[in-house]
Structure 1
Amino acid sequence: MSEINVVPYIDVMLVLLVIFMVTAPMLTQGVKVDLPETTSDPIQSDKDVESIIVSVDTNGAYYVEIGDQGSDPMSLADLREQISKILSQRANSEVLVRGDEHVEYGTVVRLMAELQGAGASSIGLITEAPENDK
């Protein structure tokens, strides 16, 4: 018999597909932040450059995310030191801020001042589109 039975391979492929579909949403990491809603044009960015995302949650805790890697909550001084180290290695990285809409305005302003002090030349803000515009 010179034929290969591919039915078992299809079964294995479908099982793997289901496993990956179930586990993929669990792999998403990040800090739960309720972003403010506003209408704005998206910023144009280079796809080659990996963004540094700094998040501020409702309690005012700071987090740094680079690609898929997140961090534990940190103080503003530790954040400045870490961003400074990252920008010394990746000078052309863009820095984006995800601030919870319920966090105080002064907290975000202090964060942006520390980011500029750490060497960030331009800082972007991440928002979400309002529900009625979708």
Structure 2
Amino acid sequence: MAMAKRDEGKKVNSNINVTPMVDVMLVLLIIFMVVTPMLNNKVNVDLPTVTASTIMENANKEDAITVAVTRDGKTFLGGDQVSLSDLGTRVADLLSKKTDPGADKSVYMRSDSRAKYGKVMDTIDAIRVAGVSQLNLLTDINQQSN
């Protein structure tokens, strides 16, 4: 009686197939590229629309000082809710940390289009008390053509 010998061990492929890993990494890269711009504006407000505006690219930078006023009158500095009495000192602290001579020392304000006018003006006053000389009001561009 003869013994049957298998040669399956010679057919085993020990190479690592990286194609599925590359596919997963490319999908994750695309997802992060789409989601990252949305993370910049931590507080959702419906900005007022205007027909003539200036594009402010510095407002999208990581170190930009952004103040937001929501529809219900809450004030946010970055993503943190603050009271109007604390807003001036916190803005002044953030501005004092920018020691680079070329640093952008302006404050960007995002206000909901349905926020009360008095609340927006109180927020502007609190920012001005902090010694801010450059306050930029952010808006959306009206996309309707005449």
Q: TM-score range by the shorter chain?
A: 0.7 to 0.9
Normalising by the residue count of structure 2, what TM-score does the alignment of the two structures yield?
A: 0.71
Give matches, 1:34-113, under 5 Å. 34-43=46-55, 50-65=63-78, 70-71=79-80, 73-90=81-98, 92-113=104-125
Any unmatched runs of 5+ in structure 2? 1-14
Residue 11 of structure 1 aligns with which residue? 20
Compared CA separation, residues 36 and 83, structure 1 to 2 (3 A): same
- 2:114 and 2:122 map into 1 onto residues whose CA distance is 16
State the superposition RMSD in angstroms: 2.9
SS in 1 for 2:144: helix
Residues 87 and 119 in structure 1, CA contact (< 8 A), matched pair in contact too = no
CA deviation after TM superposition for structure 1 residue 12, in Å: 0.8
CA deviation after TM superposition for structure 1 residue 107, in Å: 1.1
Residues 49 and 93 in structure 1, CA contact (< 8 A), matched pair in contact too = no
- 1:114 and 1:52 map into 2 onto residues whose CA distance is 14
SS in 1 for 2:67: strand
Residue 122 (str. 1) matches residue 134 (str. 2): yes
Residues 109 and 135 in structure 2, CA contact (< 8 A), matched pair in contact too = yes
Residue 3 of structure 1 aligns with which residue? none
Residue 39 of structure 2 aligns with which residue? 28
- 1:132 and 1:46 map into 2 onto residues whose CA distance is 26
Q: How many residues align?
A: 123
Opposite residue 118 of structure 2, the aligned amino acid is G
Opposite residue 64 of structure 1, the aligned amino acid is L
Instruction: Decide which structure has the larger Cα Rg and report it.
Output: 2
Compared CA separation, residues 45 and 11, structure 1 to 2 (3 A): closer
CA deviation after TM superposition for structure 1 residue 98, in Å: 0.2
Opposite residue 108 of structure 1, the aligned amino acid is V
CA deviation after TM superposition for structure 1 residue 22, in Å: 3.6
CA deviation after TM superposition for structure 1 residue 104, in Å: 0.9
Structure 1 stretch 117-126 or stretch 18-27: which is displaced more? 18-27
Any unmatched runs of 5+ in structure 1? 1-5
Residues 49 and 94 in structure 1, CA contact (< 8 A), matched pair in contact too = no
The percentage of aligned residue pairs carrying the same residue is 26
